[in-house]
Amino acid sequence: MTLLDSINRPWLHFIGLGASLFMMKLVVFPAAKTVIGPLSAARVQALEKQWSGGTDIALSPTQRASLISTELDRDMLFQRALELNLHLTDGVIYQRLIRNMHFLGMAAEGGDPELFERALEMRLHLDDEVVKRRMILLMKERLLAENPPAALTRADLIDAFERRSDALRQPPTYSFQHLYFAEDAEEDAAAAVEAIEAQELEFDAAWQLGQPFLQGHSFERQTAKQLALSFGSDFVRIFEQSGPRAQQWLGPVRSSFGWHYLWVTDVSPWQDAVFEEVEPRLRIDLEYEAQADALNSAIAALRDRYDVRETDTGAREGDSEGARL
């Protein structure tokens, strides 16, 4: 029998035609994608309330769209985690569902493995927010493991250092000692200032003229932000406007606590960042950004697997929150 005779058989033609039609069907009529969303009106309202923190602040249209998109991504990650059965192998979820079974008074039904299986049968894992957050976290970790960001090189660090040189500059710092006087001791403060000026005293000879201060009397290399945490923003504004100079008294300056007469010991102006000093922090920032970019790209690619609906496009009532396993 020749090769041509083998090929020229009706049953072989039938199989070939069937395979071709099947492949054409997959191309022309692909399998329906799992629907994610749209969110119900009640759920959107709950998200808006959570965002506003109970205030009357209204979301802008852009903020609202971003909020909905983020929540749909969470649903999608949860759905994919369910499809991969990540909930079946995680110890945290295992213990959570067993704990839920105990809470429901069903602990008498068997040991932990039986309780876990029963919880799955009852679909408790689908409506537990703790389980959902855990599965989303596991899914993100899996996506990052499958799509890791490129390793940082020294050239990357140097390039980022040069681009961010202004942001990396070290702000001015101030060092001073101060005499403190309570809010109602303004006259005592004035008398102390008069005595110090008359006798030309420095802090070591004048510290006993002030009152005890809870945070101490000496502050070293403090930025304006750090001083604001200790004394308040008004104190910092007046302090900086007064033009502090080293080895000189300044004030009294009022804070939320009272009055402060300052002996300035050092003023360091803005300083350009040194690469070796900021490299560890810069590396952490860049690695975090690279991970975030890699994860966002992986999530964007994952959306192609699903029919993500931000608004209702004719889905049935039961489909309004997306499909679940």
pLDDT digits (tens, 9 = 90+) for 41-65: 999 999 988 888 777 788 889 999 9
Cα 77 to chain centroid, rounded: 17
What is the residue extent of each domain of the chain?
170-268
Residue 8 Cα distances to 3, 15, 20, 30, 299, angstroms: 9, 12, 17, 32, 50
Integer Cα distance of 202 and 221 in angstroms: 19
Q: Tokens 């001791």 correspond to what residue?
A: 185
The pTM of the full predicted model, rounded to 2 decimals, is: 0.67
Residue-wise pLDDT for 196-223, tens only, equals 888 888 888 788 888 888 888 899 999 9
Integer Cα distance of 81 and 59 in angstroms: 31
- Beta strand pairing status for 34-36 and 306-308? parallel
More confident: 316 or 35: 35
Question: Phi/psi at 227 (nearest 5 deg)?
Answer: -65, -35
Residue 107 has pLDDT above 90, yes or no: no
- Which CATH number describes the domain made up of 170-268? 3.10.50.40
Residue 256 has pLDDT above 80, yes or no: yes
> Would you place residue 188 in the very low, low, confident or very high pLDDT band (cuts 50, 70, 90)?
confident
State which amino acid sits at residue 157.
L
More confident: 290 or 31: 290
Residue-wise pLDDT for 131-187, tens only, equals 999 999 999 999 999 999 999 999 999 999 999 988 888 899 999 999 899 988 888
Residue 124 Cα distances to 18, 80, 87, 96, 100, angstroms: 44, 17, 11, 10, 8
Are 260 and 235 in contact by the 8 Å Cβ rule? The answer is yes
53: left (phi over 0), alpha (psi -120 to 50) or beta: left
pLDDT score of 187: 83
> What's the token pair of residue 219?
């502050």
Residue-wise pLDDT for 268-324, tens only, equals 989 888 899 889 999 999 999 999 999 999 999 999 999 999 876 444 444 445 545
